[in-house]
Amino acid sequence: MEIYYGNIAYSKSKTELVCHKNSYIVVDNGKVISIFDKLPVEYQKYQIIDYKDSIIIPAFSDLHVHAPQYPNRGIAMDELLYDWLNKYTFPLESKYKDPIFAKEVYEKFIEDLLRHGTMHASIYATIHNEATDILINLLEEKGIRSFVGKVNMDKDSPDYLIEDTLESIKNTEIFIKKHQNNLYAKPIITPRFAPTCSFELLKKLGELGKKYNCGTQTHIVESLWEREEAKKCYPGCTSDMRIYERADLINKPFIAGHFIFPSEEDIEILKKYDGYAVQCPNATVNVIAGIMRTGYLLDNDINLSYGSDISAGEYLGIYRGISDSIRLSKIKSFYENDDRSITFKEAFYIATKKSGEIFGNVGSFEEGYEFDALVINNMSDSFIDLSIEEMLERFCYLGETKDITHRYLRGKEIII
């Protein structure tokens, strides 16, 4: 049994941010038992870990991130998607045929993910099996709840980063079989996006998904170029989502990266299969150039989540995604007039409880949730008194990794 004292905050729903000032959170076997303002007698015999005026919050989840692109973050940010992929991203990804290079990067990537307070993630690797095995094994060893995909791409890709269709299927099946019984890091089927995948590939991946009960992640209507290119490649399909439905590749969880320019048909299909749309607020303004209708999708009960999308996005911290997402929703509603702006409560909920739900009971401190938690500086100064919610909001706008002072994964402190 462990007891932590401090200011405790977590989301219950998109309208409810629960804040307990100067309270105790009781954790047993890595799971939350309860939160008390006054510690009941039966718990008073246990040692209390005193975090004073710090804030204790659930760890973040990142539902769209490319681990191999980690070395490219913060460069080529003046390009748009097509050129950024061809000039910078594909050449870097081709280096992962070298497992030594892969191990070096993937170790650093995971360490930095944790440093930024993200403890659950849905991750793209590359087309290479050996490097992808290294990534998923590192995550499994560390007990990080995650989905990891060996990327598939069999057309319209450079010679140095393309697969033969049947080889791609064979290697995906080998990858899934090897890791399907993992406890924490699970395989997910990862066709890169419609423009680089043949229909035969998508159909066969759909069969693998059914056979191994494996979800799918991909990029969906992420830019106007991509949306039109997908329709050109698949003339019978009136929307990006329809391509995956025709291929019978919408297995659970279905994680749709970006989802910036969806038609009503895209929305209808995503909703029908209970899929997740991932806003990557950072990447959106760097190489993609479009803003998701977050308020509209929230109001239409679409599962919304956040991703860093390293390296189209430059910053790993999902807390910065929260502030960027709020800012973008204002621009969208004020200048384009087709959305409403979202609240801090909504954005914090999306980043923690909502994005966490695909990994199990993580992202909140309700009873039975895993104690995957961050202790953060309270961000106050002597000028005005801030409520816990305001301190948390300030952390999402001004906070840096140095403001995350402790990290817990299932009740065990992680030292970085």
Binding residues (CB under 5 A) for Fe ion: these are 309
**Residue 77 DSSP label:** T
Cα separation of 155 and 149, whole Å? 18
Q: Which of Fe ion, ligand GUN, none interacts with 163 (beta carbon under 5 to 8 A by kind)?
A: none
Q: Which of 66/150 has CB closer to ligand GUN?
A: 66
Instruction: Kindly tell me which of 193 and 371 has the beta carbon lying closer to ligand GUN.
Output: 193
The residue number with the shortest CB distance to Fe ion is 309
Among residues 397, 352, 361, 353, which one has the least CA distance to residue 379? 397
Report the partner that residue 332 touches, choosing among ligand GUN, Fe ion, none (CB closer than 5 to 8 A by kind): none
Q: Which of residues 11-70 bind ligand GUN (CB under 6 A)?
A: 66
Q: In the complex, which residue's CB is closest to ligand GUN?
A: 312
Residue 222 binding: pick among Fe ion, ligand GUN, none (C-beta 5-8 Å cut-off by kind): ligand GUN
Omega before residue 187 within 30° of 0, cis: no
Nearest distance from C-beta of residue 84 to ligand GUN, angstroms? 8
Residue 144 interacts with ligand GUN (CB under 6 A): yes or no = no
Among candidate residues 345, 340, 320, the one with its CA nearest the CA of residue 330? 340
150 binds ligand GUN (CB under 6 A): no
Strands (E), 235-349: 254-258, 276-279, 303-306
CB 18 → ligand GUN: shortest distance, Å? 34
- Please state, in angstroms and rounded to a whole number, the distance separating the CA atoms of residues 7 and 23: 6
Cβ atoms of 321 and 306 within 8 Å: the answer is yes
Give the footprint of ligand GUN on residues 83-112 (CB under 6 A): 85, 89
**Among ligand GUN, Fe ion, none, what binds residue 192 when CB lies within 5 to 8 Å by partner kind?**
ligand GUN
Burial of 58 (0-12, 13-18, 19+ CB in 10 A): buried
What is the pattern of x (binds ligand GUN, CB under 6 A) and - over residues 229-268? ----------------------------------------
Taking the least distance from each CB to Fe ion, the nearer of 62 and 309 is: 309
Can you tell me which of 10, 24, 70, 193 binds ligand GUN, judged by CB under 6 A? Answer: 193
Regarding 219 and contact with ligand GUN (CB under 6 A), the answer is yes
Residue 26 Cβ vs Fe ion, minimum distance, rounded to whole Å = 39
Determine if 192 is a binding residue for ligand GUN (CB under 6 A): yes
Choose from Fe ion, ligand GUN, none: what does 193 bind? Cβ within 5-8 Å by kind. Answer: ligand GUN
Site string for ligand GUN, 283-322 (x = CB under 6 A): x-------------------------x--x----------
CB atoms inside a 10 Å sphere around CB 397? 15
227 contacts ligand GUN (rule: CB under 6 A)? no
Q: How far is the CB of 66 from Fe ion (least distance, A)?
A: 6
Supply 329's token pair.
């929703």
Q: Is 222 in the site for ligand GUN (CB under 6 A)?
A: yes
Radius of gyration for the alpha carbons in the chain, expressed in angstroms and rounded: 21
- Axis-axis angle for helices 165-179, 199-212 (nearest 10): 20
> Quick check: 375 and 56 in contact, CB under 8 A?
yes
Closest CA to 62 of 271, 222, 217, 288: 217
The pair of three-digit structure tokens given for residue 135, joined into one six-digit string: 């990534």
- # of chain residues touching ligand GUN (CB under 6 A): 10
- Give me the residues paired with residue 256 across strands: 218, 277
* Per-residue b or e along 363-391, where b marks 16 or more CB atoms closer than 10 Å to that residue's CB: bbbbeebbbbbbbbbbbeeeeeeeebeeb
- Pick 90 or 369: Cβ nearer ligand GUN: 90
Q: How far is the CB of 172 from ligand GUN (least distance, A)?
A: 17
Closest approach of ligand GUN to the CB of residue 257, in Å: 7
Beta strand segments in 86-154, E = 118-124, 145-149, 151-152
Q: How far is the CB of 189 from Fe ion (least distance, A)?
A: 15
Whether the upstream peptide bond of residue 323 has omega within 30° of 0, thus cis, is no
* List of residues contacting ligand GUN (CB under 6 A): 66, 85, 89, 192-193, 219, 222, 283, 309, 312
